[in-house]
Amino acid sequence: MKAKHMEQLSTELLTESYYKAKELKLNPDFILLIKQEIIRRSLEDKLAKSS
């Protein structure tokens, strides 16, 4: 998924995707892409509250 497509994901879908990718132990590079978008949006606190 290109980074510009990540911008189109809702915050909810982005965070759900992050947790699901970790749960399924998907490729670490893919998980990193999602996390970088979360950081770009300044949503790190949303991850901490959801875990």
Q: What is the pTM of this model?
A: 0.79
Three-state secondary structure call for residue 27:
coil
Structural domain 3-50, CATH architecture: Orthogonal Bundle (1.10)
Query: What are the tens digits of pLDDT across the range 10-50?
Result: 999 999 999 999 999 999 999 999 999 999 999 998 776 65
- How many helical (H) and strand (E) elements, i.e. helices and strands, does the chain have? 4, 0
Task: Work out the pLDDT band at 5, boundaries 50, 70, 90.
Answer: confident
CA 16 – CA 43 distance, rounded (Å)? 13
Q: Residues 6 or more apart from 47 whose CB is under 8 A from it?
A: 15, 18, 38
CA 4 – CA 19 distance, rounded (Å)? 20
* pLDDT at residue 30, rounded to an integer: 96
Q: In the chain, where are the structural domains located?
A: 3-50
